[in-house]
Structure 1
Amino acid sequence: MGVKGLQHFMDRCCPEACVTVNLREMARQLQASTTAAHPSNPTLVVDGMACLRHWYSCKDWVCGGQWKEYLDILKSWVEAFTSTGIRLVFFFDGVVEEQKRQEWVKRRRRVKGEISKVFCHIKEHGDQPGRELFCLPSGLATFTPFALRSLGQEVFCSVREADYEIASYARQHGSMGILGEDSDFIIYDSAPYLSVAKLRINSLTTVMYDRQRFCQTIGLAVTQLPLLACLLGNDVVSKEKMQDVRNDAMTAYRKNNPVPHYGAPQGQVVLAVSQLVSSLWSIEENETELVPQSLNLSGPSRELLKKGVCSYILPGQKAFKLCETVSLPSAFEKYVSPEILKACREKHAAAEGFMVYTVLCVGVTECSNTLEDEEDSELMPQALVYKPCRQFIYGLLLLLGHDGSTVDLPAIREWFVFPGNPLKEPDIVHPVPLSLSCDEPSLDLLWFSTDPEVSALRLKAFLTIFGCPEFSELCGVIEDSLLAALCLTTYLVLQVQTLSLEDVDSYLSQAVCLRLKSSQELQQIELPMLSSRAVQLGSLYVRGLSHLLGANCASGCPLPSAALMPWHSFDGRLFHSKYLLAHSGAEKIELLDHNSSSLSLFLQLTKKLTETCSMRGRVLQSRPKAPQPHPKITTQARYRDRHSGWAPRGGECWKQRGETAGGHRQGRGWREREEERRARREYESTDRPWGRGGHRGGGQHFHECHKGETQNTSYPSKPRGRAYNNRGKYQLAPRWPQPPAPGT
């Protein structure tokens, strides 16, 4: 993010502009200047996305996240500021602007390569890589705003570029500073920019990048910084676009400065472009345009540069009137009421919602990198696993009360990172109708009605999205967080045919046990080794929690958001320990920490899951995948681990069942099945009479099923073997079949 090389230039070449400051002292000085007429409350605006890597300092990151410990860290961090009287205001990215999409894609591809190295390390060494390969746990950016809100903090989610909203807020409210890690905050004419990377939380000291001193060093005014930033290259104007301008500037600089003051090449570039910008304004003193005419550029390059400069101009600045104001988007306003759109924006801005705003108002959803193994041919990527769920969410938002016409159906553009997706263009995904009753309710009814009957309808909508409407009878019987865990695990079993009984035991036992464990107890869990498959299953679960959150928002919030947070139903180390136990043949009571009440609750949940899956033709099978200890584990360590309960039981039985050492089943992987599905789709759309006409998203199938004949295409009514299930689970238009009538 930010201006390429600018902050490095300041660190190396402008030490006078990098000032160490004490935030306590800054706050004290502001408080001392407070009068009754001019109150001054020291406020620090925090770029939440820039802080994530600094906040997440837990020992484990590869197993899916130590969420209870993370919550404790956030609490301590916040208290360090609030105890000194500093008010914190947090901002998080709410959208990815299209002008920055390519930069977003570039970063995702880079992280994808790092994730491949992570899995190579786990498979080779059986442990977590060092910090040099650190990747944020999946979902950290999604759940952190909710965590901060639970701590009583003021949190905002941006409706445009977050950096812009941070700078605007700080300028408008006279904040004491912006805490982040983005050189764009040097360019904005806003509050002082404070580095979170150089923050020492115990002493509350950091480095302030002084905008005024920087301008004095390079000979520019603050108002000229936006043009400098764009010519150097940023997220809007790529470095390559202005290469010729920089080359000309360097030629002139070297002619005028045969012995440059700064030896570093980047330092010379910054000074050369600064001299160019300064000369442009000296030539045209009365310049009223954002980009001086004397800068020789083509029409498209000039427009791009103008757009880049405008991205730095804040409300209240003189040049603001020269920039076109961007109105809030409403991608699907003809499908929903103005009241829905208004509520959608308000909840999004207040960081109270997820997914709904980007779908209804922008028409786009995206998901960053997930810890997924590209070499694993058995487990589908999370983007494909949860695609049916998202289609139902889209259907609930856009098609509820729709007349059923397939003409002019809306489509959502999805940017999801997963193995095999080159991210050259978005996937076009159509919503799938969600059948709730004969008399379809409206979205306004679900969101705004206070009728007690609507509460049950909201819960039904939420559970139907995940294929388990019968779980409504458990609401109020078990904790909401356990209901969420059961709902999610059931969905995964129905969607991922390669999940085994041991995997389900791992998911549900850790959810039950987590309720009784403190963050300190969770940190003390020792893992004798890591399984790459368990790492991927952990990330898959956490991504599912974010889909639960999106479905809950779309359904009118039948469950409190707190129940869907990972610190109430998931811990990476705990899950990994349960996975190793379950796949090594441990007894159920051992999985439940020898707690009889936990065992009883666990058995109740597993019984409900297996009954629900059985009604849909999905029968769980035992397929233990006992991981092999790595050579580096010493004999002494093996003895300790065997006595701690994780060691494989039953000798070589799991190998004799046909499992590979790496944890993969022999046979076709998800990639091969996906290719078969795509080929079948092409055939059906061209050679079948019912497939012609460009129909997508399953609308026709939906209407045929409601003529009185219940069809089941997602799952067979009786188990028909792995090949059938492998074909059936990739239906483009997912539907949850109704359970058979009693006695059938």
Structure 2
Amino acid sequence: MGVKGLQYFMDRCCPEACVTVNLREMARQQQASATAPHTNPTLVVDGMACLCYWYSCKDWACGGQWREYLDILKRWVEAFTSAGIRLVFFFDGVVEEQKRQEWVKRRRRVNGKISKIFCHIKEHGDQPGRELFCLPSGLATFTPFALRSLGQEVFCSVREADYEIASYARQHGSMGILGEDSDFIIYDSAPYLSVAKLRINSLTTVMYDRQRLCLTIGLAVTQLPLLACLLGNDVVSEEKMRDVRNNAMAAYRCISAAVLNRINRTLDFSVLFTTKSKLYLLLATFKLLKKGVCLYTLPGQKRPELCEISSLPSAFEKYVSPEILKVCYKGFMVYTVLCVGVTECSNTLEDEEDTELVPQALVYKPCRQLIYGLLLLLGHNGRIVDPPAIREWFVFPGNPLKEPDIVHPLPVSLPCDQPSLDLLWFSTGPDVAALRLTAFLTIFGCPEFSELHGVIEDSLLAALCLVTYLVLQVQTLSLEDVDSYLSQAVCLRLKSSQELQQIELPLFSSRAVQLGSLYVRGLSHLLGANCASGCPLPSAALMPWHSFDGRLFHSKYLLAHSGTEKTELLDHESSSLSLFLQLREKLTETCNKKGRVLQSRPNAPQSRPKTTTQTGYRHRHSGETHTLDTCFYLIISVHVNPGSLKVSINSFSSLGPFGTKFPCKHVA
């Protein structure tokens, strides 16, 4: 969530609460005092907050330099493990409905940035500077898999990620929480450590000390959740609390300092939640505050009266067995479909002015419907009276995001009696393995590719499957586009991370940027289909670092659309050329059978003189903050007794805005 302006306030007004710490020394001290001295100190990492710091590759608009990114993650992890620090990562698994409107606001803001990105590319023919930086599509999806491949422990949340992070850190006595969210100041959990101020070489950063903050502003730690709600966060908006703050200001001017001190010394926070005190707030305001405060109460802590404990949902438990529900959280896309009934996708680099290319959300909708069908309809043989529907929140040009799209699952037609999902997931044997592969390939319209399984690499089979699906769904894709996709998938196998980084692009094509993002989004659908089918392919084969590099794809796109000979397109490697032609023939044969005939439509972008752009983001900003508007910041404590509602204001400042954060535009 995040408390608007709190971290900025601490940086500027409470420097004594911002303590520079050495993580090696913290780990050493914790291990010395631990009851189990052979256990490495644990640092809980908010993975979503780290994405913009981890991804420092040169390219971000072409679709991502995934192998270089994997190398960066490896070095980052090694810096901590070499210091004896165990890392546990958390990533967002779901967006809770109470945060949906805030999620929508952020997605709309990023849409504006994406529009500027494409304007720049079409005008200047190059990638914009860091002031328009957006994370490559799919980064949040694939980073957990990258970290697991490095031997790290990774969790995807099944409710609010901040809550799960704070709960885990408190329960396991972790040395700290590394992230960039002021909610970790509010939670009474492990120390909050800033990833924005982390120096990886020295392992130093800033710890935001909640105890010192409370000492400075005259609050108890137990009052911080109420403070967070009064100031505004993702659940309790700043606007809805404006009247409460205005009343607080009026009361503050009428109460003497001695009375304020007495109130703070005797304040019983739980009094706010008694039936009598509720009468002194509007009922709607009271319920909103109660809901907000309860969200900060961790397991094992005393809950304010009237807090309700909600159980995890199972949206479609009548369609699947209890055994499926027990393990579904392990599968990408599967948990949100079966237990929440919602799927979502953040912003993608798509040009809203380009009417030729269909938005990725619509391109992959038929595929998702079959994934939903595999999960919810398999084995029912049409006997479902009230078929389920999935609510989709997908960001794409033209979608106002006022409400979710209601999408119904479609049955998957398999060449046998309809098996149950339990059989597909839990049974063994060659027949079941073949059935899993057939189910997976059928979702993408190419079951005949099963004959290639074991003949070509799994990553190439996945790439062929995906490109074939795109050709069948997007009528404007040309033979040159197919050559771009397949040649980069084949050539990538022989490229090192260093070679990929050294690829020079004479210019940027806005269309190639879109096709790169379209492909990476498709990899996430391959992953979802693979999980739903019982994992016929190893997950590693579906990772972008095995089948896609943005700069390599962009270079192949420029070559293919310029009429380059196939030998040059395949880097003069005879084995690569032979494999490329084999894949191309299989694709065109499959598409021809379905009435889709590929046409050659060269679309070479015209060279533009590269103009000098403004100084990039990293040159203009030497620190972790940026230029800010001025606004008032209130820190309030509330005391309610049966006779009156008394509000005191402990301090306020005019130094910064609400919502200051590292200016990273999340597209992942």
Give me the whole-angstrom Cα distance separating, in 2, the residues matched to 1:237 and 1:292: 22
Output the amino acid matched with 1:129. P
The DSSP-based 3-state class of the residue aligned with 2:108 is helix
Give me the whole-angstrom Cα distance separating, in 2, the residues matched to 1:319 and 1:12: 32
Match of 1:542 in 2: 520
Output the amino acid matched with 1:298. L
Give me the whole-angstrom Cα distance separating, in 2, the residues matched to 1:164 and 1:292: 30
Is the aligned partner of 1:424 residue 2:398? no
Contact in 2 for aligned 1:290/1:306 (Cα 8 Å): no
Give me the whole-angstrom Cα distance separating, in 2, the residues matched to 1:297 and 1:194: 36
Output the amino acid matched with 1:371. L
Output the amino acid matched with 2:64. G
Is the aligned partner of 1:487 residue 2:486? no
Match of 2:175 in 1: 176
Match of 1:735 in 2: none
Compared with structure 1, are the counterparts of its residues 278 and 161 closer, same or farther at alpha carbon in structure 2 (3 Å cutoff)?
A: farther
- TM-superposed deviation, 1:323: 2.5
User: TM-score with structure 1 length normalisation?
Assistant: 0.80
Match of 1:4 in 2: 4
Output the amino acid matched with 1:228. L
Q: How does 1:616-655 map to 2 (within 5 A)?
A: 616-632=594-610
Give me the whole-angstrom Cα distance separating, in 2, the residues matched to 1:202 and 1:613: 52
Is the aligned partner of 1:564 residue 2:542? yes
Match of 1:227 in 2: 226
Match of 2:312 in 1: 328
Range 551-560 or range 280-289, more displaced = 280-289
Contact in 1 for aligned 2:229/2:292 (Cα 8 Å): yes
- TM-superposed deviation, 1:404: 1.4
Match of 2:45 in 1: 46
Match of 2:19 in 1: 19
The DSSP-based 3-state class of the residue aligned with 1:88 is strand
The DSSP-based 3-state class of the residue aligned with 1:164 is helix
* Structure 2 residues not aligned, in runs of 5+: 613-668
Give me the whole-angstrom Cα distance separating, in 2, the residues matched to 1:328 and 1:241: 28
Match of 1:300 in 2: 284
Match of 2:356 in 1: 378
* Structure 1 residues not aligned, in runs of 5+: 259-274, 348-352, 635-744
CA-to-aligned-CA distance 1:674-698 (integer Å, 9 cap, x gap) = xxxxxxxxxxxxxxxxxxxxxxxxx
Is the aligned partner of 1:409 residue 2:408? no
Indicate the percent of aligned positions where both proteins have the same amino acid: 85
CA-to-aligned-CA distance 1:350-391 (integer Å, 9 cap, x gap) = xxx211100011000000000000000100000000000000
- TM-superposed deviation, 1:324: 1.7
Which has the greater radius of gyration?
Answer: 1
Match of 1:152 in 2: 151
Give me the whole-angstrom Cα distance separating, in 2, the residues matched to 1:292 and 1:504: 69
Contact in 2 for aligned 1:355/1:365 (Cα 8 Å): yes
User: TM-score with structure 2 length normalisation?
Assistant: 0.89
Output the amino acid matched with 2:94. V
Q: How does 1:427-442 map to 2 (within 5 A)?
A: 427-442=405-420
Is the aligned partner of 1:580 residue 2:558? yes
Match of 2:28 in 1: 28
Output the amino acid matched with 1:526. E
Give me the whole-angstrom Cα distance separating, in 1, the residues matched to 2:549 and 2:268: 62
Give me the whole-angstrom Cα distance separating, in 2, the residues matched to 1:604 and 1:21: 57
Contact in 2 for aligned 1:284/1:292 (Cα 8 Å): no
Output the amino acid matched with 1:516. L
Output the amino acid matched with 1:148. L
Give me the whole-angstrom Cα distance separating, in 1, the residues matched to 2:492 and 2:266: 67
Is the aligned partner of 1:141 residue 2:140? yes
- TM-superposed deviation, 1:558: 0.2
Q: How does 1:60-71 map to 2 (within 5 A)?
A: 60-71=59-70
Range 248-257 or range 582-591, more displaced = 248-257
Match of 1:340 in 2: 324
Residue in structure 1 matching 2:297, options 296, 313, 325: 313
Contact in 1 for aligned 2:507/2:607 (Cα 8 Å): yes
Output the amino acid matched with 1:400. L
- TM-superposed deviation, 1:294: 6.8
- TM-superposed deviation, 1:31: 2.1
Is the aligned partner of 1:98 residue 2:82? no
Contact in 1 for aligned 2:491/2:576 (Cα 8 Å): yes
CA-to-aligned-CA distance 1:290-337 (integer Å, 9 cap, x gap) = 898178321122111111001000011122675222211110111100
The DSSP-based 3-state class of the residue aligned with 2:165 is helix
Give me the whole-angstrom Cα distance separating, in 1, the residues matched to 2:301 and 2:311: 19
Contact in 2 for aligned 1:63/1:576 (Cα 8 Å): yes
Contact in 2 for aligned 1:398/1:431 (Cα 8 Å): yes
CA-to-aligned-CA distance 1:24-49 (integer Å, 9 cap, x gap) = 1111112222455x665311000000
Contact in 2 for aligned 1:291/1:305 (Cα 8 Å): no
- TM-superposed deviation, 1:200: 0.5
Compared with structure 1, are the counterparts of its residues 249 and 442 closer, same or farther at alpha carbon in structure 2 (3 Å cutoff)?
A: same
Match of 1:112 in 2: 111
Output the amino acid matched with 1:173. H
